[in-house]
Amino acid sequence: MTRKQKILNPSTNEALAEINVAGKEDMEAAINSSRVAFDKGPWPRLSLAERKKFLLKISEGILAKAAELARLETLNTGKPIKESTFMDVPSSAKTFSHFANHLEEYLEDTILELENAKSHLIREPHGVVVLIVPWNYPLLIASWKMAQALAAGNTVILKPSSLTPLTALELAKIIHDAGLPEGVVNIIHGSGSEVGQLLCADKRVDMISFTGSNEVGRQILGYAAQNVKKLIMELGGKSASIVLADADLEAAVNGSLCSIFLNQGQMCTAMSRIFVEEDIYDKFIADFITKAKKIKLGRGDDYETQMGPLISQEQRNKVIAYLEKAKAEGAKVLCGGKIPDATDLKNGFFFEPTVLGGVSAQMNIFQEEVFGPVACVSKFSDVEEAIKLANQSNFALAGTIWSKDIVSAESIAKKINAGIVWINTYGMFYNEVPYGGFKQSGFGKELGREGFLEYTRFKNIISDQTKGAKPLVNYWYGF
């Protein structure tokens, strides 16, 4: 019997849809379909110009359904409709068009003339690539991974989060309408605990690209070890922001609000630790709290909403547990810290924007990823102290620096142990440049030429060019 799952709207805790859950047979079909499509189908063998046309059709299809996709993304994740409309959906379309328009450049062969030989360096697709995406940016991260994997010539199996599969299923329709060959894209809805091992351990899978929690990432590493394969792991973060005394205070406050409360703080790049130079700390924290209290909570589909609900009751419970532990360890709640009591929010998974003071580096909340709207704001007196605090984490994904002295800010950025550092801004992702972290934040890159090439394998073809004689190996044994 086919098992079904209800998909909830976190703004209301009401069912949005009921969809089939994939089982073992479905997994087997998806892997086999993708394997056959790569080994025997036309996709890896198409000219780059033909591949480009298909990717552009997908981009155009996303834009043609932009309003519908934005509405679905908001209903399924709870994020404000303006974020889905102006950020997630257009960015998804741009990712497909970018890699369509650059795949010929990125895949250009290299010829090297060597001593008595010629080296032909070529990029090839890995083969079957499993793409596992999280619930916080289900359409955008799926598009990041899929656009690069397809542009490189791979066939793919997309596994969206079991909480947020709706836009992935709409993307499947767009891809079907674009006319991609059968088996090139397979999208499976199922519980990670049930299908993760089947997907990741199978020897017919050549590569896994995962974005999600460290806990699940470690499980995938174990599954993949059963049959060695290429991995990209984009895991958690405990990112830090450094606000210097010479910063534009208004920009720093507003930018810092965005860096932790955007998408309800459910971002691996969330600046959950904010370090402010002591000369401006009092003014910064007063403005930050005043503005945090003004953030309008509401249903995601309300255009006046500035912050929606958390993804689930389970996630809200996790945030509350982190707060209770922080308070027990001595942290002070400066604002927020509770479930709102407004009657129109009572059924959803809402939680107030929260600011903590008195947080020390020894506290659990300083070290662990909360993945919710909780900012820890601290003061510092010396820049080197701030750098040390920022780097005092097992994660190394992102950071921000706020200062009018760009030269000094760039010098500080080089000392921050993170894969991406923003100066006087936050959350600017570009298809042209890579993104990814260090340490427990994972390995590998997404986006840019470097991210694209992660989805390829590098082959070196060497031809003998000895002039007027046979190569040395011909005489090695003297026969």
| Catalytic residue IDs | 234, 268
| CB 276, CB 309: distance < 8 Å | no
The backbone torsions φ and ψ at residue 400, rounded to the nearest 5 degrees and listed phi first, read: -135, 150
Q: How far apart are CA 9 and CA 26, in angstroms?
A: 26
Q: According to DSSP H, which parts of 152-248 are helical?
A: 166-178, 192-201, 214-224
| 336-339 LR contacts (CB < 8 Å, sep 24+) | 336/292, 336/293, 336/373
CB burial of 434-452 (b: ≥16 within 10 Å; e: otherwise) equals bbbbebbbbebbbbbeebb
What token pair was written down for 216?
């699940």
The radius of gyration of the chain from alpha carbons, rounded to an integer in Å, stands at 24
Cα–Cα separations (whole angstroms), residue 9 to 94, 301, 386 = 27, 10, 40
Q: How far apart are CA 416 and CA 24, in angstroms?
A: 44
Q: How far apart are CA 476 and CA 479, in angstroms?
A: 8
Q: What region does 265 belong to: left with phi over 0, alpha with psi -120 to 50, or beta?
A: left
Identify how many contiguous H helices and E strands the chain contains and give both numbers: 16, 20
Q: How far apart are CA 285 and CA 269, in angstroms?
A: 21
Residues of the chain by 3-state class (helix, strand, coil), percent to 5: 45, 20, 35
Cα–Cα separations (whole angstroms), residue 450 to 100, 434, 447 = 15, 6, 7
Q: Which helix (H) or strand (E) holds 318?
A: helix 313-328
Q: For the residues of 367-381, what is the DSSP string, one character each? A: HS---SSEEEEEEES
Q: According to DSSP H, which parts of 225-264 are helical?
A: 249-261
Task: Identify the CA nearest to 270 among candidates 283, 285, 258, 282.
Answer: 258
| CB 44, CB 153: distance < 8 Å | yes
